[in-house]
Amino acid sequence: MTTITIGVDLAKNVFSVCSANAAGRVLDRKDLRREAFAAYLVQLPPGTRVAMEACSGAHYWGRRCVELGLQPHLM
């Protein structure tokens, strides 16, 4: 199965990222710094759902996701 959802815990410097498949099974977890997270988003296929907490930085990352053809979901 392919990854369809990316869960992100936004923080000041290091973001925790978790990817899950269509069945909800966690495929991998990683901690990424801001620059590495931006590069990670670029390599995701268009249409991937990126779920993140609705905090002050979430709107910025949500706009970046839209620019890359991803589907941001702020909770």
In whole angstroms, what is the distance from residue 69 CA to residue 48 CA?
Answer: 8
Burial class of 61 by CB neighbour count within 10 A (0 to 12, 13 to 18, 19+): buried
Task: Summarize the chain as % helix, strand, coil (round to 5).
Answer: 25, 40, 35
Give the total number of structural domains in the chain: 1
Q: Mean pLDDT score of the chain, rounded to an integer?
A: 92
Boundaries of domain holding 30: 5-74
Q: Compute the average pLDDT of residues 11-17.
A: 93
Tell me the whole-structure pTM to 2 decimals.
Answer: 0.88
Q: Compute the average pLDDT of residues 60-75.
A: 95
| Residue 2 clears pLDDT 90, i.e. is over it | no
Residue 66 near residue 58, CB atoms below 8 Å: no
| Residue 1 clears pLDDT 50, i.e. is over it | no
pLDDT of residue 55: 87
CATH of the domain at 68: 3.30.420.40
